[in-house]
């Protein structure tokens, strides 16, 4: 899995040369010190230290995997607190709209943002939410790409103060209001059947266990899209073999996604909710950098050796070699050293041939 993540990160850096992902786990933080490999004994994993981390959940597979898993853990902790300490319940609201192949992602994102704001501020919606006992919301965001183009949509967890068993009439009225908000915001009107969905707590709890850009983003990092649709990291993966869809290269689609999503937040909690549920406020960048906690130093790597590891796309393999050396008690003269020696010998041979 680490091989997969690092190779995808290299591909993202290739497609986004001006973005921070190009420096992630490569450029040094302190230029007066060498890059270092540290070992987390509890996780039994080696990782790079004194290297910058971009902290992007949208364009960096390595950072996204770490951040979204920690966001999922925060969410589970918070919802358990809501249900136990506050005797609350949870509903899952999904909001989507009709879209076409010729619409850009940026225009759809603007329309969705406007529609959601209209929806939340609508007096009738506010009253319906009060009648349902909604006290807080947690909004998640997801984008896929399919035969009808880009499909951005919101998933909203509604934290309510009592159990709600029959909400079909409320759901229908909310759906009508959502359709109106979409059309007023310049979006194509969704159907009553597909525009708005409202599910009970059991379904919501199952969804929470896979929250992120869905469960395989926080585990295997590439989710299986539905009905032939692709997730952003599907686009990135298949761009490595020059695949295309709807007459466009997947590489250009991933570039459009990364640029359009820059700066967007994946999860938005109601004001004061994290404090209420005792969830510590941390930025994506802070979560990405937490790897170094509780880690011991294994060795440093000079610039020349590191450049060879990057050029040959074996940064991940070097870490794995060090892990095996550590496990086998041959630290200092094992697989990692042989890997570096082999890379240096190959580079010398390459330079001879060029001369």
Kindly write down the DSSP assignment for every residue of 225-241, as one continuous string: PSTT-B-HHHHHHHHTT
Would you state the pLDDT for residue 205? 63
Residue 295: strand pairing partners: 40
Query: What are the tens digits of pLDDT across the range 73-102?
Result: 888 889 889 999 999 999 989 999 999 999
pTM of the model: 0.89
Contact yes or no for 121/203 (Cβ under 8 A): no
Would you state the pLDDT for residue 331? 63
Would you state the pLDDT for residue 215? 43
Give dist(CA 140, CA 137) in Å, integer.
10
The closest alpha carbon to 22, from 316, 239, 310, belongs to 310
Would you state the pLDDT for residue 192? 87
Per-residue pLDDT tens digits of the chain, which is 355 residues long: 888 899 999 999 999 999 999 999 999 999 999 999 999 888 888 999 999 999 999 999 999 888 888 888 888 889 889 999 999 999 989 999 999 999 999 999 999 999 999 999 999 999 999 999 999 999 988 899 999 999 999 989 999 999 887 888 999 999 999 999 999 999 999 998 889 999 887 766 666 555 433 343 233 333 555 567 899 999 999 999 999 999 999 999 999 999 999 989 888 899 999 999 999 988 888 887 776 667 889 999 999 999 999 999 999 999 999 999 988 876 666 899 999 999 999 999 999 998 7
Give dist(CA 99, CA 229) in Å, integer.
13
Would you state the pLDDT for residue 222? 39
Would you state the pLDDT for residue 161? 93
Would you state the pLDDT for residue 221? 35
Would you state the pLDDT for residue 266? 83
Query: What are the tens digits of pLDDT across the range 132-160?
Result: 999 999 998 889 999 999 999 998 999 99
Would you state the pLDDT for residue 228? 74
């Amino acid at each position: 899995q680490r091989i997969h993540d690092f190779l995808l990160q290299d591909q993202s850096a290739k497609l986004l040369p001006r973005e921070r992902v190009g420096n992630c786990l490569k450029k040094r933080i302190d230029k007066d010190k060498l890059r270092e490999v540290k070992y987390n004994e509890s996780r039994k994993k080696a990782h790079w230290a004194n290297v910058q981390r971009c902290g992007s959940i949208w364009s960096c597979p390595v950072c996204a995997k770490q951040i979204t898993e920690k966001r999922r853990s925060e969410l589970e902790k918070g919802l358990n607190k809501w249900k136990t300490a506050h005797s609350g319940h949870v509903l899952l609201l999904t909001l989507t709209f009709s879209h076409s192949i010729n619409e850009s992602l940026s225009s759809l994102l603007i329309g969705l943002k406007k529609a959601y704001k209209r929806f939340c501020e609508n007096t009738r919606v506010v009253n319906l939410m009060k009648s349902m006992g909604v006290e807080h919301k947690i909004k998640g965001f997801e984008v896929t790409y399919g035969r009808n183009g880009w499909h951005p949509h919101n998933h909203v967890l509604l934290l309510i103060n009592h159990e709600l068993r029959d909400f079909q009439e409320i759901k229908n009225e909310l759906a009508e209001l959502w359709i109106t908000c979409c059309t007023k915001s310049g979006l194509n009107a969704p159907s009553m059947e597909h525009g708005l969905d409202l599910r009970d707590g059991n379904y919501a709890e199952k969804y929470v266990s896979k929250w992120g850009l869905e469960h395989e983003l926080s585990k295997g990092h590439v989710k299986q899209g539905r009905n032939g649709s692709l997730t952003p990291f599907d686009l990135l993966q298949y761009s490595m073999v020059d695949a295309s869809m709807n007459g466009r290269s997947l590489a250009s689609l991933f570039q459009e996604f990364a640029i359009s999503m820059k700066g967007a937040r994946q999860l938005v909690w109601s004001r004061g909710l994290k404090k209420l549920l005792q969830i510590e406020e941390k930025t994506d960048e802070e979560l990405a950098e937490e790897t170094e906690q509780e880690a011991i130093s294994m060795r440093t790597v000079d610039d020349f050796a590191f450049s060879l590891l990057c050029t040959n796309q074996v940064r991940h393999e070097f870490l794995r070699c060090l892990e095996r050396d550590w496990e086998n008690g041959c630290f200092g003269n094992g697989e990692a050293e042989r890997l570096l020696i082999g890379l240096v010998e190959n580079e010398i041979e390459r330079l001879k041939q060029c001369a």
